[in-house]
Homo-oligomer: A and B are copies of this chain.
């Protein structure tokens, strides 16, 4: 795991939105998505990232949509 991964995770966790998180990080959505996946794979499939982040993203999407 690298600090890079944690920075990306924090951004997504704060924004609950990949596009905004990427903007905040001054990178594009594609590398951000890749980085989050790297972190997930690094921590394992049933990781905090996957369970928390994706579910919260789903909820956010449901609430906003």
Residues of B within 8 A of A14 (CB): none
Total interface residues in chain A, CB < 8 Å: 4
Q: A3 contacts the other chain (Cβ, under 8 Å)?
A: yes
Residues of B within 8 A of A4 (CB): 2
Chain B proximity of A65: nearest CB distance (Å): 38
Give the interface centre of A1, A2, A3 by most chain B CB atoms within 10 Å: A3
Residues of B within 8 A of A2 (CB): 2-4
Residues of B within 8 A of A3 (CB): 1-3
Cα-based distance from A2 to B3 in the complex (angstroms): 6
Cα-based distance from A2 to B1 in the complex (angstroms): 11
Which positions in A face B, CB cutoff 8 Å? Answer: 1-4
